[in-house]
Structure 1
Amino acid sequence: MPSPQPAVPALSPLPLMHLATGFWAFKALASANELGLFGLLDRMGGATVEECAEELEVSARPAGMLLTACTALGLLQRRPDRRFVNSALADAYLVPGRPYHFGGWVRMLDQRLYPGWGKLTEAVRNNRPTTWDPETQPHLFNTEDPDLLSVFWEAMHAVSSWTAQRLGSVVDLASRSRLLDVGGGSGAYAIELCRRHPDLRATVYDLPGVCPAAARNAEAAGLADRIATFPGDFLAEPALPGGHDVIVLSMILHDWDEETNRTLLGKCYAALPPGGELVISELMVDDDLTGPATAALMSLNMLVETEGGRNYTAAQYADWLTDAGFTHTRKVPMEAPGANAALVAVR
């Protein structure tokens, strides 16, 4: 007798197909970004497949396929005259020179994180990063590759600028006068928050090799007189710079293990005056550890990128803050590339 046909599952496999091919969409974006497609279309005011092929110095076949893919992904639009133009999204974030250019983030994901994520199983098995070697580097941010470091900070500036805008809209700092951005990197948070609050002054505290970029960005933003830099290592130094009534930790705590974070929160408490505030801005995992996907996947990214980091829950942060001496901790939801919530606590 013929064997019975297996029952067809009631569920569609399409969700798995979307998950399994997710990297196709990313690589289409990354390739278009690397080739300079979005800048080209901006300069030309739109172009046909043939014009794009000529300008990009590629054959018409792959040019047309890439243009179609980017159009399907909402990055381009095709006009009745057969010319492709940037969509509103691409025009705002993917054209070089735009104030919130996102291309550096795409480039960093493609050049650094994409290869590292290709070794995710290795990271899970060995509990160690795959984008750098802890045996030859003291930590993630110590590298002799200036090009890679430049890509990293350009990427972080793009993500942080937009996230800082959202943070400023949900956390009121109008009563604060001096802000310390610990691990402030390119100065994105200091710049955006000082723009929002004309009386606010800020200090970007980061490694000596990072501070010059923050100073340049502050000057370019016309805020050099209100944003200072303070070179140092918040892990190695016994204390943080004083004289500030609010401290921001943005996408910092997810880089480190619990012990390191508790130590840093203790330094924040000691550096603030009574009544001062600490603001933690992060992609936070739900307290029941079921999501959201953005925070859960960023947490896996910390497995690929760090020795002990992960994305934590708001409840974990709240416990650490209480143990450090902070009070009146509150969670403020937000929606941004680099954070889904802020925790605000009082010294």
Structure 2
Amino acid sequence: MDLTLGVYAFKGLALATELEVFTELAGGKGVTLDAFARRHGIHERPAELLLTALVSLDLLVLDDEGFYRNSAVSEEFLVKGKPRYFGGWVTLVDKHEYPAYIKMLDSLRGNHPTTWDVENQKSLFQPDDRVVKEHFWDAMHSLSAYTAGRLAESIDFSGIKRLLDVGGGGAAYDIELCRRHPHLKTTVFDLPFVCELTRPRVEAAGLADRIDFASGDFFEVGGVPGGYDAILLSNILHDWGIEDARKILRACAEALPSGGVLLVTESFVDDDKRGPAPAALMSLNMLVETWGRNYTAAEYGEWAAEFGLKPEGVVPFEGQGANGVWVARKP
């Protein structure tokens, strides 16, 4: 029953995010049931059902005077414009992934994604896919901003002066890493249209002098540029099947100089494939999203050694959409 209630909880959160409930209540503002119903042009019954659900989930607080206010977690993560705004990810799951789960049996039996048209699209990451273009990279920023901070605290970046963020659209990792490590300069490497979508975010962060862009395709021969002390792959490899994931890993290994470090942040499935649940469930999500899955540290270690890298294992941390960083160096 707890698992089935998750559907109701998520849709309540998604509906409130779409209505911008938490943004309207930012800064300690409160609203009564009657005022909320009038503001959104809905009847009192559905308004009360939604608000009560949000209170039960600790997303809103109901005070003794009958005013609904943001909880601490909503104030930090669900208010538009806040540094750790998570609503982009909520919107992507609601608009892009949730409808695909209705067709999940098709994915299971056909071994193909259902969030995009596999017959007519080259991949999920197409500029002409309106939902993806409007929501995907905002969602990636939402998912990555907090996790980037955990990465910044987990790895010694003192010896890294230049970092290449492969598939770094959204620049969440670049922004957070540069803020925490003033000596660091990074480059976002992604498809041309993704770089253009990301550039305003970097400029708004005031980091255009330390974060630059290199457009390209990591599947092209020599596509990944060299000359960097470190290469970061943040939640990239799980989007691809084994053959393609290995190609990306090989390209990064070849681009690294001697002494260079490869950093892979992912939700790693345990080597014995018994969990953990967040990594296993996100891996299941790839059934409807991509041709990939969440891989194990042992799999990465085996591939990296084949490509001339020396694996150092996983440094664990608790992030959103990632549970650690796998590290390898080039001798």
What TM-score bracket applies, with the shorter chain setting the length? over 0.9
1:124-150 superposed Cα distances (whole Å, 9 cap, x missing partner): 111000111111000110141345412
| Secondary structure at the counterpart of residue 336 of structure 1 | coil
Give me the whole-angstrom Cα distance separating, in 1, the residues matched to 2:221 and 2:91: 33
Q: By how many angstroms is 1:44 displaced?
A: 7.6
Give me the whole-angstrom Cα distance separating, in 2, the residues matched to 1:23 and 1:171: 36
Give me the whole-angstrom Cα distance separating, in 2, the residues matched to 1:231 and 1:40: 38
Q: By how many angstroms is 1:236 displaced?
A: 2.4
**Equivalent residue number for residue 270 of structure 2:** 286
The change in CA–CA distance for 1:201 and 1:70 in structure 2 (over 3 A counts) is same
| Secondary structure at the counterpart of residue 66 of structure 2 | coil
Give me the whole-angstrom Cα distance separating, in 2, the residues matched to 1:143 and 1:237: 22
Give me the whole-angstrom Cα distance separating, in 2, the residues matched to 1:233 and 1:168: 26
Alignment of 1:19-38 (within 5 A): 19-38=3-22
The change in CA–CA distance for 1:201 and 1:44 in structure 2 (over 3 A counts) is closer
Deviates more, 1:80-89 or 1:212-221: 212-221
287, 290, 294: which one pairs with 1:311?
294
Deviates more, 1:34-43 or 1:246-255: 34-43
Q: Which amino acid aligns with 2:281?
A: L
**Equivalent residue number for residue 240 of structure 1:** 224
- Residue 263 in 1 paired to residue 247 in 2? yes
Q: By how many angstroms is 1:330 displaced?
A: 2.1
**Equivalent residue number for residue 137 of structure 2:** 153
1:167-210 superposed Cα distances (whole Å, 9 cap, x missing partner): 11111112100000000011111111111111111000000000
**Equivalent residue number for residue 129 of structure 1:** 113
139, 160, 168: which one pairs with 1:184?
168
Q: By how many angstroms is 1:43 displaced?
A: 6.7
Give me the whole-angstrom Cα distance separating, in 2, the residues matched to 1:155 and 1:66: 24
**Equivalent residue number for residue 199 of structure 2:** 215
Give me the whole-angstrom Cα distance separating, in 2, the residues matched to 1:264 and 1:44: 46
Q: Would the aligned equivalents of 1:239 and 1:271 in 2 still touch at CA under 8 Å?
A: no
Give me the whole-angstrom Cα distance separating, in 1, the residues matched to 2:112 and 2:265: 25
Taking structure 1 as the reference length, the TM-score comes to 0.93
Taking structure 2 as the reference length, the TM-score comes to 0.97
Q: Which amino acid aligns with 1:207?
A: L
Give me the whole-angstrom Cα distance separating, in 2, the residues matched to 1:313 and 1:149: 30
- Residue 52 in 1 paired to residue 40 in 2? no
Give me the whole-angstrom Cα distance separating, in 1, the residues matched to 2:174 and 2:80: 22
Moved over 3 A (4+): 145-148
What is the CA RMSD across the aligned residues, in angstroms? Answer: 1.2
Q: Would the aligned equivalents of 2:114 and 2:288 in 1 still touch at CA under 8 Å?
A: yes
Q: Would the aligned equivalents of 1:116 and 1:304 in 2 still touch at CA under 8 Å?
A: yes
Q: Which amino acid aligns with 1:331?
A: V
Q: By how many angstroms is 1:42 displaced?
A: 2.2
**Equivalent residue number for residue 23 of structure 2:** 39
Q: Please list every run of 5 or more consecutive structure 1 residues that lacks an aligned counterpart in the other structure.
A: 1-16
**Equivalent residue number for residue 7 of structure 1:** none
- Residue 144 in 1 paired to residue 111 in 2? no
Q: By how many angstroms is 1:237 displaced?
A: 4.0
87, 93, 101: which one pairs with 1:103?
87
User: Number of aligned pairs?
Assistant: 330
**Equivalent residue number for residue 58 of structure 2:** 74
Q: Please list every run of 5 or more consecutive structure 2 residues that lacks an aligned counterpart in the other structure.
A: none
The change in CA–CA distance for 1:225 and 1:336 in structure 2 (over 3 A counts) is same
Q: By how many angstroms is 1:230 displaced?
A: 0.5
Give me the whole-angstrom Cα distance separating, in 2, the residues matched to 1:298 and 1:71: 27
Give me the whole-angstrom Cα distance separating, in 2, the residues matched to 1:180 and 1:104: 24
The change in CA–CA distance for 1:185 and 1:237 in structure 2 (over 3 A counts) is farther
Q: Would the aligned equivalents of 2:232 and 2:262 in 1 still touch at CA under 8 Å?
A: yes
The change in CA–CA distance for 1:170 and 1:79 in structure 2 (over 3 A counts) is same
Q: Report % sequence identity.
A: 49
Larger radius of gyration: 1
Give me the whole-angstrom Cα distance separating, in 1, the residues matched to 2:159 and 2:28: 47
| Secondary structure at the counterpart of residue 21 of structure 1 | helix
